[in-house]
Structure 1
Amino acid sequence: MKKRVVQIFGFLISSLGWLFVLCSMAMDYWRITQIGGQAGSYIIKVAWYWSNLWKDCFTDSTAVSNCRDFAVLWSVTFVQGVRGLLMCGLTLAFFAVVLCFLGMECTYIGGSNKTKDKMLFSGAVLHFAGGE
């Protein structure tokens, strides 16, 4: 019974970690910079520059946004390397979640106990390799 509880708790924690990293990939505001609005100006003009892993955007004081999408993975800066590493880690962790689910003692699919232990160990290795 204790082994099952530990496996279920570990599976839930690792799956939630994978889900949180997946949600952070979709966030828009990874980097935000305010431009303008300095003292000595009669007209206060403020603009915001913000970027994420998918695009760079510039929003002016009239709330008009101009965005430039990153077309390919290798075309821009080191941020694209981060995007690539996150996508590789998410892919590895997806396979780890599937292997861990099949390898848990409380599931009826997956084969014998020896096979389940191998799948569970492989899933744990993939979780560590994926950085989750």
Structure 2
Amino acid sequence: MSSMFQEILAFILTTSGWVLVSSTLPMDYWEVSSNDGSVITTSTFWSNLWKTCVTDSTGVSNCRDFPSMLALNAYIQACRGLMITAVCLGFFASIFALVGMKCTKIGGSDKNKAHITCFSGISFILCGLCSLSGCSLYAHRITTEFFDPLFFDQKYELGAALFIGWGGSILCILGGSIFCFSIADTFTKSHSQAKYIYKGTATHSHISSYPRGQAKSVNQRPPPDCSNSSRMQHFDKNVYV
């Protein structure tokens, strides 16, 4: 598979993953719990990063927004920061990917486009890791409270938004890795061209001006003439007088 098709496949995967990650941020069902009594009194409790709600059997929902960001639990603040960071990284990585792909006409030379593509791939990988960390942190809090026998408040289960966030994170990481591997051909080709040019100049510098069959090595030098030095050693005894 050529690098152009690899970049197109990576762009589809990363863009789809970024859309899924972005859609989980305002979704309702991050955690959900049902209180099943009789048919009339069945209620569904759910919450996300911004509010907590309860829905009765008639479909009427009563929601309460979190009053203050400073009064929130630390894990909710961390999840908010990680998810917002993931959305921002995916947005800028998508723009850099469009500039660095070989099927586009902007971005400069192939080497510059390869650098831009590599940067976008790393950004998509970081986007997936941030989203994966945020969803996993929220899910860890849910499972810890659910399996804690000393926790007597309302227990929740994993909501649909967490699974969507995990899926989008995997797509971003996979597509970003393909972006990074797709530029290997470009760097290999440029390295081989530079190596060929270097060998050619080295071979040209060693061309001898001697006829064929009488060529001498570049490092071969004639022996020094010691006749003058031998003369200087035989002085007369009154030379300094």
> When the two structures are superposed, what TM-score results if normalisation uses the length of structure 2?
0.48
Using the TM superposition, give the Cα deviation of residue 71 of structure 1 relative to its aligned residue in structure 2, in angstroms.
5.0
Q: Which amino acid aligns with 1:19?
A: V
Which whole-Å deviations, capped at 9, do the CAs of 1:62-98 have from their partners, x for residues lacking one? 4432211235544322133212201101111111111
Q: Check if 1:48 corresponds to 2:13.
A: no
Residue in 1 that maps onto 2:9? 9
Structure 2 residue 143 is matched with structure 1 residue 117: no
Which contiguous aligned blocks of 4+ residues in structure 1 show a shift greater than 6 angstroms?
Answer: none
Distance in 2, matches of 1:72 and 1:93, equals: 28
- How far the C-alpha of 1:118 sits from its partner, in A, is 1.0
**Unmatched runs of 5 consecutive residues or more in structure 2:** 129-171, 173-241
Q: Distance in 2 between matches of 1:113 and 1:33?
A: 53
Helix, strand or coil for the counterpart of 1:105? coil
Counterpart code for 1:59: T
CA deviation profile, 1:8-51 (whole Å, cap 9, x unmatched): 1111111111111112223211211123517xxxx952222111
Give the direction of change, closer, same or farther, for the CA distance of 1:74–1:95 in structure 2 (3 Å limit): farther
Query: SS state of the match for residue 79, structure 1?
Result: helix
- How far the C-alpha of 1:56 sits from its partner, in A, is 0.5
**2:71 aligned residue:** 75
Gaps of 5+ in 1: none
Per-residue CA deviations over 1:93-120 (Å, capped at 9, x if unaligned) read 1111111110001100111212111110
Structure with the higher strand share, 1 or 2: 1
Structure with a larger share of its residues in helix: 2
Partners of 1:92 and 1:127 within 8 A in 2: yes
Partners of 1:103 and 1:120 within 8 A in 2: yes
Alignment CA distance shift 1:73-1:100 (3 Å)? farther
Aligned: 1:108 with 2:102:
no
Q: Secondary structure at the match of 1:89?
A: helix
SS of equivalent residue, structure 1 residue 34: strand
Structure 1 length-normalised TM? 0.83
Q: Distance in 2 between matches of 1:97 and 1:71?
A: 34
| Local SS of the residue matching 2:34 | strand
CA gap of 1:90–1:126, structure 2 versus 1, over 3 A, is same
RMSD: 2.2
Q: State percent identity of aligned pairs.
A: 38
- Cα gap change, 1:2 to 1:110, in 2 (>3 Å): same
Whether the aligned pair in 2 keeps the contact of 1:53 and 1:83 (CA below 8 Å) is yes
**Further displaced range: 76-85 or 108-117:** 76-85
Partners of 1:74 and 1:81 within 8 A in 2: no
Name the larger-Rg structure: 2
